[in-house]
Structure 1
Amino acid sequence: MSLVLPSELVVDRFLPTVRAMLAMRLADRGLTQREIAAELGVTQAAVSKYVSGESGGDDRFRDDPETVATVERIADGLASGEMDGYDALADLLSLVHSLEDRGPICELHEEEMPELRGLGCDLCVRGLDPDLRAERDVLTNVRAAARTLASTPGMADVVPNVGTNVGMALPDASDETDVAAVPGRIYAMGGRIEIPANPEFGASKHVATAILAARATDPDVQGAVNVATDDALLDAARERGIDPLEFDADYEDRATHLSDRFGERGSVPQVAYHRGAFGIEPATYVFGATATDAAERVAALLEASTSSR
């Protein structure tokens, strides 16, 4: 893991860009390079590079409306004498805090530390959030589950035409935004499993619906994988002592229908499936305590079904 502090990005990427922006705007307002150097606390040679456009910088800050507005305000204030260094510093610090809250600094931080992607990280703004660890654990589990599916022999044969997915809910999940899955679904291409992106919360309505319905009966069920309905896989489940539950495909309210069916059984089946309907591809859900549990169950069933074919 590459450990990068947001403050490093402020020093290395934000500050040089904003200094260059300020230097150019102060020059436009008639200040000499010596005066600009004194205002910014840099050398006159540095100001010369800033004004000539040779300083580099990051376009994300140059194009950010809030950054542009702040720089214009500071340039006006310094040029007119209505603002001193303390005032300028206060404005810049306020801007940094804002840009760390889902802004360009946050975006850069996720690029430098991919482990943060999909976490909805508020560490810079609100400090250590106990809920963040739970979110991170769920995302890590879904990533591991996706890797398990990608390495499972025969998985490509049971990926539906619309793709498959693997998901896991937070312990206190109440809606689909509390369920992490792979954005864009998982696809089979050329006999291989393609995982298009890292998991995110709210990425799959269908898997989330199944998981939330299962949790209504058994809160310990937090993970699920959807695959194509395959008789060999269903037979393998029965041979392993699993009693697959069949449900109807064409209910408008899938969540309520699944919840009712699970409630009728009195438990959440490890495998639930339907045979499809007009415009609806046959699908099977494999459940587990976690996403990894569900993926490993799929792998075991595929191995058993392959040996019996």
Structure 2
Amino acid sequence: MSRDDGLVLPAEVIAEEFVPTLRIALARALAERDCAQREIAGFLGVTQAAVSKYLSGRARATDRIADDERFAATVERVADGWVDGELKGDDALVEIHELLRTFVDRGPVCALHEEAMPALDGRECDLCVRGRDDAATRERETLRDVRTAVRRFAAAPATPEHVPNVGTNVASALDDADEAADVAAVPGRLHAVRGRIEVPSDPAFGASQHVAGALLVARDVDATVGGALNLATSDALLDAARDRDHEPVAFDAGYEDRATELRDAFADGVPTVAYHDGAYGIEPVCYVFGADARDAVERARTLVAGAADP
């Protein structure tokens, strides 16, 4: 079920994917417990002909739902309870509703909804669960910040030359961020391929470790810092920063106590550019900080342009 850019309601996914798969699974589970088709039809609220179709294999189930362990466990529990007389219709409804609640909270139904409505894909959508509350709005704005920043970064002609071999990530933090899960970035990072920037996917929270870690330390020192990205360290880039009165600050390349190293480097405030010269097995990298991801990228674009000047 896909409608390209069209509107698909989550209720449609539930009605067209979850409900038929549930009825098929329950019908088969009850038949295995020697229930007659007439009894099964009465319990499921369908015709006996529908039950016959479920049992014959002519009805289509959705594998993403049917293969889920939580789904299988609920079907077994409901079937056992109904056959034993311990579970009535309203009890079964509670069990199924609880299962459905977990499935629409970034679960299989949510994944199917993203497939059916590609505009949602990769956006960690949970509108069905949380609605338009303030926290959800801030998350969407943060993801939008990264998407816009990434487009700006990829559009700049000279940026591929400054992407390190490990890739570049662009990150934006929520206002109350205190862990990597509160920072949006690009899963898989950006890479330079044949002179262009390749963007593997839409941003998501928790998609960065190193850039997010540097950004969290910067925010802890200066709450006005909300975005960052990494570039390959080069003399040209550092000179371009100095020419624009952004004195780069050096820190140790090791990962073992990176947060402490950065916090010490930021003792006099968070710089626009913080860099290291690499170490054994560690590529030289610099971080560019800004008020948000778009601001960090604009600063990076300016530095990249300056590094290209003769």
Tell whether the structures are fold-level matches, with TM greater than 0.5: yes
Structure 1 residue 11: deviation in Å?
Answer: 1.0
Corresponding residue for residue 235 of structure 1: 239
* Pairing 1:292–2:294 present: yes
Q: Which moved more, 1:1-10 or 1:199-208?
A: 1-10
Aligned to 1:216, which of 215, 220, 237? Answer: 220
The DSSP-based 3-state class of the residue aligned with 1:172 is coil
CA distance in 2, matches of 1:93, 1:257: 50
Structure 1 residue 113: deviation in Å?
Answer: 4.5
Corresponding residue for residue 283 of structure 1: 285
Corresponding residue for residue 272 of structure 2: 270
- Could you give the per-residue CA deviations for residues 276-302 of structure 1, whole angstroms, max 9, x where no partner exists? 233322212111111111112222222
Superposed counterparts of 1:1-309, under 5 Å = 2-113=6-117, 123-125=127-129, 128-250=132-254, 252-264=256-268, 267-306=269-308, 308-309=309-310
CA distance in 1, matches of 2:266, 2:74: 56
Structure 2 contact 130–136 (Cα < 8 Å) conserved: no
CA distance in 2, matches of 1:161, 1:246: 20
CA distance in 1, matches of 2:72, 2:60: 16
Tell me the TM-score normalized by structure 1. 0.87
Q: Are the structure 2 counterparts of residues 175 and 79 from structure 1 closer, same or farther at C-alpha, using a change threshold of 3 Å? A: closer
Structure 1 residue 187: deviation in Å?
Answer: 1.3
Structure 2 contact 227–293 (Cα < 8 Å) conserved: yes
AA of the residue aligned to 1:302:
V
- Could you give the per-residue CA deviations for residues 119-158 of structure 1, whole angstroms, max 9, x where no partner exists? 6555544555422221221111112212222221121111
Q: Which moved more, 1:221-230 or 1:3-12?
A: 3-12
CA distance in 1, matches of 2:35, 2:213: 62
The DSSP-based 3-state class of the residue aligned with 1:263 is coil
Q: Are the structure 2 counterparts of residues 44 and 189 from structure 1 closer, same or farther at C-alpha, using a change threshold of 3 Å? A: same
Structure 2 contact 222–270 (Cα < 8 Å) conserved: yes
AA of the residue aligned to 1:283:
V
CA distance in 2, matches of 1:298, 1:35: 68
CA distance in 1, matches of 2:180, 2:70: 32
Structure 1 residue 16: deviation in Å?
Answer: 0.4
- Could you give the per-residue CA deviations for residues 220-242 of structure 1, whole angstroms, max 9, x where no partner exists? 11111111112222233333333
Q: Which runs of 5+ in 1 are unaligned?
A: none
Let me know the Cα RMSD of the aligned residues.
2.5
Tell me the TM-score normalized by structure 2. 0.87
